[in-house]
A and B are shown apart, each in its own frame.
Chain A
Amino acid sequence: MRHAIPAALAVAAMALPAAAQERPELTAYAPDYFASDWGPGPRIEAGFEAACNCDLVFVTGDVLPRLLLEGESTRADVVIGLNTDQTARARATGLFAPHRQDTAALTMPVAWTDDIFLPFNWSELAFVYDETRLATPPESFAALLDAPDTLKIALQDPRSSSAGLAMLLWVKHIYGDGAEAAWAKLAPKVLTVTRGWSEAYGLFTDGEVDMVLSYTTSPAYHVIAEGDTTKHAAIFPEGHYLYTELAAQLAGSDQPELAQAFMDYILSPDFQGMIAEANWSYPAKLPPEDLPQAFRDLPRPATTLFYSEAEAEALRQPALDEWLRAFTR
């Protein structure tokens, strides 16, 4: 109960002179999973603090909604763990400063030119299956749509999950104006739509569904952490939609040097080398030969699909309406 100080005491503590503070503090807003003991947070904290002579503090929660609420008065120096569907609104706040990194050196399947939001890891959306339960998975997106309705899949809701929203864009990218018809074909195979990734993935590991919307890198977790080689991502020739997570620094930070040092640290070999096994995705800047073996063995899609921020923002609402219509008709 060390932190259970009443609010009044917290105010009093603020009013005291900052004599007790030896090291400057860098505040990073991050999603819950990111800073948990099982996410990359603790290792990033240890790695960065080893060099910066500072205290890196993760503040967890919904990063963007919180920033929007706080506006100029935010305490955040940096944010980490934004999704591409959030960058347009984040950029519009004008709260961010350029990251000043060379994005030409990134090892991503798409060219990245954004000077504010810096990717630190990436993967693609994919349907994950267990070969012991589904011996012959669909070999293309078209085959998935044409599969018998007894093939059951679990999705995430685009209204509450970033992966669910990326799935809308994936279908839109492949089928364009035919997206609603594609969804109508997929709908009978959708056993259920969950709030977030965890629930859907849990239904998959419990054997409720044959395939689950997850990432091309998910099987690497099962290989490395569980020695289980039966889980695979079905690779479709139509291409897979990119899912990347981003970091940025705040223009109004009271620790601008530290914030910049953190942005530099993100693309350092130290950070990039640990991200594969800490966040179960591809590092944004690491030669493939430096990846863990299980990641090097993963099958790669021939095509990676991606919409620019402006395109995705324009498509979001129409694609959501199509999705809702396809499921409620």
Chain B
Amino acid sequence: MAARLHALRPSPGAAVAGGLAALILGTLGAVAWEARGLSGLTQWDLRAVWFTLWQAAVSATLSVALAIPVARALARRRFPARGALVLLLGAPFILPTIVAIFGLVAMFGRSGWINAGLAALGLPEISIYGAQGVVLANLFFNLPLATRLILQAWQSVPAERFRLAASLGFGPRDIARHLERPLLREVAPGAWLAVFLICLTSFTVALALGGGPRATTVELAIYQAFRFDADPGRAASLGLVQVALSLAALALAGRAAAPAGFGAGLDREAPGPAPPGWRGWADAAVILLAAGFLLGPVGAVIGSGLPRIGSLPETVWAATARSVGMALTSTALTIALALPLALALARGRRLWIEAAGMLPLVASPLVLGTGLFLILSHAVPVSGLAIPVTIAVNAIMALPFALRALIPASRTLEADYGRLAASLGLAGAARLRLLTLPRLRGPLGFGAGLAAALAMGDLGVIALFGDTRTATLPLMLYQLMGSYRLADAAGAAVLLMGLSLGLFWLFDRGGRA
């Protein structure tokens, strides 16, 4: 009953969700309108749909499967510099794709470290070019996200539950059954969905490491429809296919997820039990392997770029300042949108709000950018739009991640404190100040950190709207690469990565302090 009454009252969350749905579907509509309708798909488009689904499903499943042992090891072990390691393991997720690819190639490529090591041992060469390369790159990008989401859930289990488990004499098997399985049941489907949706729109990855046209994704087909066939109708059709696929995935993940229901605790900071014996060695091995896989390519990028930072041209620094300012603005916007959405979702399972919140993940950046351009260019001169539009689009693109971080915590908040707050008549600004913000501080900081890092690194739609006076750091990076200056581009990449990580650290730290 209560949930139904809530649903009848228009909430800020529903308004935000409605706005998002209107924006994503509206831009699609604008493109279709411009094309005077949708056009049919070719046999190559259908192949692209199939490959896109395949690589997204494999990458998401592997990412989550591998993230579980990593997150568990990180949750239950304490060691020096653990905090720094957890932070650094997040680096790949916010690396610009093109930079990450060169990092991966330095490690796994034909002349990379791994193959040099294999050759020294007389073993055959491995190749990252082909479908396996696409999956490997997706894993590199998304294992950090899946690990962080699962780790966050692990750390949100009240310490009292683990203490109760210890006093009941639970072994690792019992803990797995009574604590870890319900926990994963709650968080894993959402993490899988997030990774799946990210991989659905991957473009550069598949193209650089895919080894050829067999690895064609829907996003490339959209690009081709725009750029080479001048067929916005086909682009809109493909954009619709992407949205439909993601809604289907969302429904599936929504069915699989179940709330864990651990109840409230006293917020005591205590890691879960750390079983001794072989499990300790296994945890150490898991952490070392993950660190090697994720930090190796990052190290390669730093190694090649760090010496060049000092000699970067002055305009790069101006673009850097502009990028930081834009990232901060867009972060504020992301949080202002994500919080009402998460709170609305916590009050009742309304799939359409969650779907609207996840839609930006699958909105083709090309369709979104072009649609916005079409809609806005009729109203205002485009030249002044580059920066505001980029800020807005980056804020919206980061929304699903902030939302993923906020939803589980908001649900727990509502389940644990909702009735108490209602009985005290705590509502409105007072509830926000006294209950919501303090309780959600951690995920808010994490979400803001992700939003800032993503906004910093994203090329966004500035490439479509920009002029020479509005260049951002990622755009500069691409320009350097496009004019043979690969060494300077490596320097700009390190700068970009350092700033993204720094912003993430500041927000995440602010949320935990």
Q: Bound pair: A and B?
A: yes
Interface residues of A (CB under 8 A from B): 1, 3-7, 9-11, 13-14, 32-33, 35-39, 41, 57-62, 64-66, 68-70, 73, 75, 85, 89, 152, 157-160, 165, 187, 190-199, 201-203, 205-209, 218, 221-222, 225, 280, 323-324, 327-328
B443-496, CB < 8 A from A: 463-471, 475-476, 478-486
Closest beta carbon of chain A to B90's beta carbon, Å: 25
A202 touches B228 (CB 8 A): no
Which one of B203, B329, B385, B486 contacts A202 once the chains associate, using CB atoms below 8 Å?
B486
Binary contact readout B191-216 vs A (1 if CB under 8 angstroms, 0 otherwise): 00000000000011001111111101
- A159 to B230: give the CA distance in the assembly, Å: 12
Which one of A57, A64, A75, A206 contacts B111 once the chains associate, using CB atoms below 8 Å?
A206
Given contacts A3-B386, A32-B482, A33-B482, contact A193 B211 (CB under 8 A): yes
A residues near B262, Cβ cutoff 8 Å = none
- A302 to B162: give the CA distance in the assembly, Å: 78
A6 touches B388 (CB 8 A): yes
A residues near B110, Cβ cutoff 8 Å = 152, 191, 207-209
B227 touches A62 (CB 8 A): yes
A residues near B343, Cβ cutoff 8 Å = none
Most buried by A among B102, B129, B485: B129
A residues near B326, Cβ cutoff 8 Å = 4
A199 touches B101 (CB 8 A): yes
Closest beta carbon of chain B to A163's beta carbon, Å: 12
- A10 to B376: give the CA distance in the assembly, Å: 12
- A24 to B411: give the CA distance in the assembly, Å: 59
- A263 to B374: give the CA distance in the assembly, Å: 29
B383 contacts the other chain (CB 8 A): yes
Closest to A152 in B: B110
B154 contacts the other chain (CB 8 A): no
- 23 contacts across the A-B interface (CB closer than 8 A): A1-B387, A4-B325, A11-B379, A11-B380, A33-B482, A33-B483, A38-B479, A38-B483, A59-B383, A60-B463, A65-B226, A69-B34, A69-B374, A89-B230, A157-B213, A159-B224, A192-B208, A193-B207, A198-B482, A203-B105, A280-B484, A327-B214, A328-B213
Closest to A59 in B: B467
A35 touches B468 (CB 8 A): yes
A32 touches B213 (CB 8 A): no
B213 touches A198 (CB 8 A): no
B467 touches A57 (CB 8 A): yes
- A60 to B462: give the CA distance in the assembly, Å: 9
- A70 to B465: give the CA distance in the assembly, Å: 12
Which one of A196, A197, A327 contacts B212 once the chains associate, using CB atoms below 8 Å?
A327
A residues near B420, Cβ cutoff 8 Å = none
- A203 to B383: give the CA distance in the assembly, Å: 35
- A73 to B34: give the CA distance in the assembly, Å: 14
Given contacts A38-B479, A192-B211, contact A221 B463 (CB under 8 A): no
